Amino acid sequence: MTDDSVREYDALVIGGGIAGMESALKLGDMGYRVILVERDSSVGGKMVLFSKVFPTLDCASCISTPKMGAVVHHPSVTALTYAEVESIRGNGKGGFRAKIREKPRYVDEAACTGCRQCEVVCNVAVPDEFNAGLISRRAAYIPFPQAVPKKAVVERAGVSPCTFNCPAGVKAHGYVALVRSGRYEEAFNLVCEATPLVGVLGRACYAPCETECTRGVLEGPVSIRRLKRFIADRHYADGGSAVEIPPPNGKKVAIVGSGPAGLTAAWHLARSGYEVKVFEAASRPGGMLSTALPAFRLPDAVVQTDIAKIVSSGVEIVTDTRVEDLEALRDMGYAAVLVATGTHRSTRLGVPGEDLPGVLKALDFLRAARSGEALDVRGKEVVIVGGGNVAIDAARTALRLGAARVQVVYRRSRDEMPANPWEIDEAEREGVRFVYLATPTRCVGDGCVESMVCQPMELGEADESGRRRPTPADADPFVLDAACLLEEPREASVGVPDIEGAGGFLVIVAAGLTADVDGLGLALKPDGTVETDPVTLQTAVPYIFAAGDVVDGPSSIAEAAGRGRRAAYMINRWLRGEELDPTGLGDVLPVMDKTEVLERQESYRKVEPWRTGPLHTGASAVAGPLDFSELEPPVTEEEALHSAGRCLDCGVCSECRQCVAICPADCIDLRMSGREFEAEVGAVILATGFTLFPADAKPQYGYGRYKNVITGMQMDRLLAPTRPYNDVVRPGDGRIPDNIAYILCTGSRDETVGNPLCSQICCMYSIKQNQLIMGALPLADVTVYYMDVRSVGKGYDEFYEQAKAMGAGFVRGRISDITEKEDGNLVLRYEDIENGGGMVEAEHDLVVLAVGVQPSADVRSVFLDAAPSLDEYLYLGEADEDLDPGSTDMPGVFVAGSAAGAKDIPDSILHAGAAVAQAAAHIEKGRETA
């Protein structure tokens, strides 16, 4: 969302740490209008996360929080947290035009009470950067207890690829995360938010979620579809929870057709309070689910169980009722009608002889097989014409009914087959043979089909579908007939009637399906499907909508369900007199980039999928007769947890919506968007602070490998009142340490890492920690390894002496390397400078690396014109740090605090004062010249 109005301020302060807050407060106190922009969700910077400050040992958060509260509530200061300055350019009047983006918190800041319930129910754990990675936080989080503002944030990096690619709109990442947490019923209910066909999709979905799963780049995708099967099986085995039925809204909707689109639409409309009646022409509801999909892929009980759930929501389904007059439904009081009749008309081959007995339509064949009235194909040679999933289903069904041999004839090559590759694989394993690059030219027979003449084909240029177009090859036609029989007939598993008039050779045509809506009076497209608005699914007759295959042509169950969901959404809006705006249906964020996801970790443990290769293991070992029992084995809880544990949480927030459900203030909105606006400012103060030296850049100290080597910041968190652990304990095993080592100057005064500067603070914060440790752990020994201790500042040297008097040991010597013992203790090697210079080893049970600081000058990239210069150490440069502190070489741009160089807290505040004075002078000068 972009706000076109330009806001005006006297000063822009970038960074909400101690220097930024001080700058904003002082300018505000002077009466200047200030906008402060902090990228984190709270002001306070690093200072508020410290245990105490040196040398006074005041509680850091106690002295930070008054300033944090003051800056947020100051009448002259607009403090934006979770916001970023996107760009700054000169405005030609001595000031600047800044573009500022407020990132979406996905939480209504005004309504959030900071109760943390969203955190507690969140199912995604990530490292807590506010506790230096020592513990987890949640995707929904409040950064730390003293946060100002104390408002939750939901971290959404993007839409997880699995969710983004689900045509049914199922929050796939969400239910995977819920399974991982053992919250199976919540997972089931989350799928129901998109479609009630949980059991069906758990078995028969072609799982585009898995195709795009980031884990697929590693060992293989998460078995997302099977997790859906698991939660459905679990839900129904446990008896299922009752469906909440809202009070009726007094309006009736008719749905024609009870396939995936119609059923999904009925479910959503019923849950919106409509009285929904579904009219089904067949004797059983479910459309293709009940009549065409073979039971070995989708058992009938699964379909009927899902349908029973839909009925329990108040939906009425009438079967054996063909609707031929839509207007009559209107007359019966239905305010809207949804046509979702699917594609039940088989496409003809268009070759001579196709009406001979023994030439069957695949859909009729599958329907008969499903209903138990299957045709007797025992001992017969069966040829299937087509390359889609219906063809494969027909082929595998024919094998189960006892066909002697089944061949699939397809006019393109295997690569172009529309059937799912794994379905083809499994058909091959069961014994189906494939004849590629051939097309029938006529069916031949005397009284019944006896043979089929085929023309060899070759592939030419790609057609409109993107597949290479088949054209007749320069080769002689060939004949398929019963004489091709090479095997003894298989034993059929079911008793079936004979095929009237058929011989030993059968042709089953699976050349495509089209809609069958003649007589309904709807406008049709050239392919016979219904014409609708592609977005609203509304037909030319306003109260009639159409969705699913009857509009789109043959598609998948998930696609049809997604269209049904859309139709329900649009019908609901239309009946409420609202604009048919699809905004509420889609994702508000882009899909996550997989590379970005994978780069979050330096390494990945290999975790294979639970099973690889064909899931339908029954099909791969065709020793005995095939039957129609379900091929895919059920999912055990162990498998489900293993699979869910492989999820990488690509989007961070999984959209499981548990936070939405539990929030007592109803303040979480996962569809929230950010805001952008521009501001005219007279001056800019850069208070972006510093970054800590990455301790793993000194590999000889083992940080990141040795469990009991931590950084000074981590120790500060362990010592803080809001510490992540219950005490100062070792991260390696939770034991209280009793012999702690400090290594000063880690990454500072060190040319080997490119940082010759003293960090100014690591001596003193280490000494502060020494004293705090000796207070918290009276029995612990503390040894500080140093080159020299720099205690320059009021009371600093006294503070140092006090630590020594309390018992802290100080050993002069640079540590050369550390090794880890089996018990997690650490052996330090150093040159003992004060005792002759020999190499000495010392064992400690916890090592603290007193890391130095580094410049954080990324802020320069926001300047679109000239940017302030850096000094030789890459800190923001000051024009003259002795005579003109706080001024950069760019008029109107000032720097405050450690963005200009390492400083302790008092010096940062002093320096901010200098920057404020400089900025005020610049603002006043601008006013004089205006």
Partner 1 sequence: MPDVIHTPLCAAGHADNRVAGHAPDHLADRDVREIIRDEHLMRRPILEALAEGPLTIPQIAAAIGRPAHEVVYWVMGMRKYGHLTEIKEADDEGFYLYKIVEKEDG
Residue of 563, 293, 259 lying closest to 423 (CA atoms): 293
Tell me which H or E stretch contains 426.
helix 421-430
Q: Least Å distance between CB 221 and partner 1? A: 15
Nearer to partner 1, 638 or 858 (CB): 638
Nearer to partner 1, 197 or 720 (CB): 720
Residue of 127, 162, 198 lying closest to 654 (CA atoms): 162
Nearer to partner 1, 27 or 849 (CB): 849
Q: Least Å distance between CB 216 and partner 1? A: 13
Tell me which H or E stretch contains 224.
helix 224-237
Burial class (CB in 10 A: 0-12, 13-18, 19+), 395: buried
Q: Least Å distance between CB 218 and partner 1? A: 6
Q: Least Å distance between CB 723 and partner 1? A: 10
CA 902 to chain centre: 39
Q: Least Å distance between CB 152 and partner 1? A: 14
Q: Least Å distance between CB 707 and partner 1? A: 4
Tell me which H or E stretch contains 827.
strand 826-831
Residue of 397, 389, 341, 343 lying closest to 372 (CA atoms): 397
Q: Least Å distance between CB 116 and partner 1? A: 9
Q: Give the list of residues 6+ apart from residue 484 with CB closer than 8 angstroms, or none.
A: 381, 405, 407
Look-up of token digits 């890391």: 851
Interface residue list for partner 1 (CB under 8 A): 119-120, 123-127, 133-136, 138, 177, 180-182, 218-219, 595, 598-608, 638, 641-642, 644-645, 647-649, 705, 707, 724-727, 729, 731-738
Q: Least Å distance between CB 189 and partner 1? A: 18
Look-up of token digits 């550390």: 818
Q: Which two tokens stand for residue 143?
A: 């950064």
Q: Least Å distance between CB 649 and partner 1? A: 6
Distance CA 631, CA 651 (A): 34
Q: What are the backbone dihedrals phi and psi of residue 276, each rounded to the nearest 5 degrees, phi first?
A: -115, 130
Nearer to partner 1, 6 or 120 (CB): 120
Nearer to partner 1, 727 or 801 (CB): 727
Tell me which H or E stretch contains 814.
none
Nearer to partner 1, 452 or 728 (CB): 728
Distance CA 922, CA 68 (A): 26
Distance CA 749, CA 106 (A): 44
| Sequential DSSP letters for 152-206 | -EE-B-SB-HHHHT-TT---HHHHHHHHHTT-HHHHHHHHHTT-S-HHHHHHH--
Q: Least Å distance between CB 848 and partner 1? A: 17
Tell me which H or E stretch contains 335.
strand 334-339
Nearer to partner 1, 607 or 757 (CB): 607
Q: Least Å distance between CB 63 and partner 1? A: 25
Q: What are the backbone dihedrals phi and psi of residue 79, each rounded to the nearest 5 degrees, phi first?
A: -100, 115
Q: Least Å distance between CB 144 and partner 1? A: 12
Q: Least Å distance between CB 698 and partner 1? A: 15
Residue of 656, 760, 772, 742 lying closest to 139 (CA atoms): 656
In the chain, the amino acid numbered 784 is V
Q: Give the list of residues 6+ apart from residue 601 with CB closer than 8 angstroms, or none.
A: none
Question: 505 with 380: CB under 8 angstroms?
Answer: yes
Q: Give the list of residues 6+ apart from residue 379 with CB closer than 8 angstroms, or none.
A: 402, 403, 404, 489, 504
The helix/strand/coil state of 773 is helix
Nearer to partner 1, 97 or 611 (CB): 611
Nearer to partner 1, 449 or 719 (CB): 719
Residues present in the chain in total: 930
In the chain, the amino acid numbered 300 is D
Q: Which two tokens stand for residue 854?
A: 């580094």
Nearer to partner 1, 117 or 791 (CB): 117
Question: 760 with 864: CB under 8 angstroms?
Answer: no
Nearer to partner 1, 713 or 857 (CB): 713
Q: What are the backbone dihedrals phi and psi of residue 408, each rounded to the nearest 5 degrees, phi first?
A: -105, 125
Question: 19 with 909: CB under 8 angstroms?
Answer: yes
Nearer to partner 1, 518 or 823 (CB): 823
Q: Least Å distance between CB 149 and partner 1? A: 21
Nearer to partner 1, 359 or 728 (CB): 728
Q: Least Å distance between CB 180 and partner 1? A: 5
Question: 806 with 773: CB under 8 angstroms?
Answer: no
Question: 378 with 485: CB under 8 angstroms?
Answer: no
Q: Least Å distance between CB 191 and partner 1? A: 19
Q: Least Å distance between CB 309 and partner 1? A: 27
Question: 231 with 198: CB under 8 angstroms?
Answer: yes
Nearer to partner 1, 66 or 645 (CB): 645
Nearer to partner 1, 155 or 275 (CB): 155
Q: What are the backbone dihedrals phi and psi of residue 174, each rounded to the nearest 5 degrees, phi first?
A: -60, -45
Question: 691 with 854: CB under 8 angstroms?
Answer: yes
Query: Tell me, what DSSP letter sits at residue 737?
Result: P
Look-up of token digits 């059983």: 284
Nearer to partner 1, 395 or 848 (CB): 848
Question: 400 with 493: CB under 8 angstroms?
Answer: yes
Q: Least Å distance between CB 172 and partner 1? A: 17
Nearer to partner 1, 205 or 846 (CB): 846
Sign of CA dihedral 901, 906, 910, 912: positive
Nearer to partner 1, 246 or 645 (CB): 645
Angle ∠(218,221,227) on CA atoms, nearest 5: 145
